[in-house]
Amino acid sequence: MLIAGNWKMHKTATETGEFCRELRDALGGHEGVDVAVCPPFAGLAAAVQALADTEIAVAAQNVHWEPEGAYTGEISAAMLVDLGVYGTIVGHSERRQYFGETDETVGRRAAAALDAGLWVIACIGETEEERERGETEDVLRRQLVALESHDDLVIAYEPVWAIGTGKTATPETAQEAHAFIKALLDVPVLYGGSVKPENAAELLSQPDIDGALVGGASLEIDSFVAICQAGAH
């Protein structure tokens, strides 16, 4: 069971250090659940330092496919490894929506990160319009084609209509999508899409849900710890 907090564009390096020290104290001796935080690039070093002697992992929110080069504003897998980062998210729906990310570039980012020894959370999911048109499985199949099974690859199923909207897929709807994904690619699958302490236990109890990629609820220590504890049971 993996609970990963995607902080998006929140928390300065100073705030990151403070939060991670609180998290370290709150989750001391936690069993049965793997925990990761994904701060913005500017906070990665502070997170690595604060969580150095813990089992809590630090991951980035994105990575480039080239090892180096003229790619202003990007960051390479080798740079993340050198910082002490363990993994990275790729293909989040916000990257696809606002920054022109495609299935192909998501696949290239994932492959580069995995080759460098990072683990990867690759995000997939359908929009509300696609779901209403009955295209969910076609969309998920298309997005998965760009990814290859790997021991360090995790998929995050994030229905786009449930990200930051307060809407959440029912446990049954989420389970159905997770089972479909696992039939195509034999890797763990996290659920992401307005996961909160109130719905975490029910979602995480589904047989094919292997954890959660948590957005807004990962920014407050009490709510994130509650979700981590729900994953441990």
Residue 82 has pLDDT above 90, yes or no: yes
More confident of the two residues 169 and 135: 135
- At 182 the pLDDT is 97
Contacts of 97 (CB under 8 A, 6+ apart): 160
- At 22 the pLDDT is 97
Q: What does pLDDT average to over the chain?
A: 95
DSSP 48-84: HHHTTTSS-EEEES---SSSSSS-TT---HHHHHHHT
Nearest one of 80, 90, 64, 207 to 147, comparing CA atoms: 90
Contacts of 159 (CB under 8 A, 6+ apart): 125, 126, 131, 169, 173, 174, 177, 193
Q: Is 158 exposed, middle or buried (0-12, 13-18, 19+ CB in 10 A)?
A: buried
Among the listed ranges 3-7, 100-104, 106-110, 227-231, which one has the minimum average pLDDT value?
A: 227-231
Residues 36-69 pLDDT 10s: 999 999 999 999 999 999 999 999 999 999 999 9
More confident of the two residues 32 and 147: 147
Residues 90-126 pLDDT 10s: 999 999 999 999 999 999 999 999 999 999 999 999 9
Catalytic residues, by residue number, are 92, 158
Residue 2 has pLDDT above 80, yes or no: yes
Question: Residue 151, Cβ neighbours under 10 Å: how many?
Answer: 7
Contacts of 108 (CB under 8 A, 6+ apart): 65
- At 169 the pLDDT is 80
Mean pLDDT to the nearest integer, 163-170: 75
- At 233 the pLDDT is 72
CA–CA gap between residue 213 and residue 26 (Å, rounded): 19
Coil/strand/helix, residue 232? coil
Residue 168 has pLDDT above 90, yes or no: no
Per-domain residue ranges for the chain? Answer: 2-231
Calculate the alpha carbon distances from 184 to 30, 37, 105 in Å: 32, 28, 20
Q: With the CA atoms of 62, 33, 151 and 147 taken in that order, what torsion angle do they form, in degrees rounded to the nearest 10?
A: -40
217-150-51 Cα angle (round to 5):
40
CATH of 2-231, one of 3.40.50.720, 3.20.20.70, 1.20.1530.20, 3.30.43.10: 3.20.20.70
- At 193 the pLDDT is 85
Q: How confident is the model at residue 140 (pLDDT cuts 50, 70, 90)?
A: very high
DSSP state of 22: H
Mean pLDDT to the nearest integer, 197-218: 96
